[in-house]
Amino acid sequence: MKKIFTYFVMVALVAVLASCGVNYKDGTYKGVSTDEENGSSMEVEITIKDGEISACTLVAYDDKGDVKDENYGKDAGDALYKKAQRAVDGIKQYPDLLVEAGNLEDVDAVAGATVSCKQFKLAAKAALKEAE
């Protein structure tokens, strides 16, 4: 009987510890990541309120330092422009996905912007590290 009680206490303790997440300091924090292979970069700004992620914004830059916006890929021809714009549309989803999920581990890659997902997560991780 004592072994069963000890087992249940251990299981309960593990469950409690597993549910304890990082409690972030309130404020606004910035993180940057650069893709060494293609030279693009991303700046992320995360706002923490009441210890939780309440807002997130990002700005993505191409290898020339230009913002990836409606003009991104325009000079590459119609097919590549459309592909570049799908990526821009996908990138724009990451901040909302992070706020909705509440943690970086639950943010999945968006179709068309899978390469940028890693870059977003690196920049967001840098910002969240400052908030710890």
The per-residue pLDDT for 22 is 75
CA 14/CA 2 separation, integer angstroms? 18
Residue range 48-93, pLDDT digits in tens: 999 999 999 999 999 999 999 999 999 999 999 999 999 999 999 9
pLDDT, average across residues 90-104: 97
92-99 long-range contacts, CB within 8 A, separation 24+ = 94/56, 94/58, 94/120, 95/44, 95/55, 95/56, 95/57, 95/58, 96/56, 98/46, 98/53, 98/56, 98/124, 99/53, 99/54, 99/55, 99/56
Domain limits, the chain: 22-131
Residue range 7-32, pLDDT digits in tens: 444 444 444 444 456 789 999 999 99
* Lowest-confidence pick of 1-5, 6-10, 117-121: 6-10
Q: What is the pTM of this model?
A: 0.82
Helix (H), strand (E) at residue 30: strand 27-34
Helix (H), strand (E) at residue 79: helix 78-91
pLDDT, average across residues 97-105: 97
Which among 24, 26, 44 is positioned nearest to 34, based on CA atoms? 44
Q: Would you identify the CATH topology of the domain 22-131?
A: Sufe protein. Chain: A (3.90.1010)
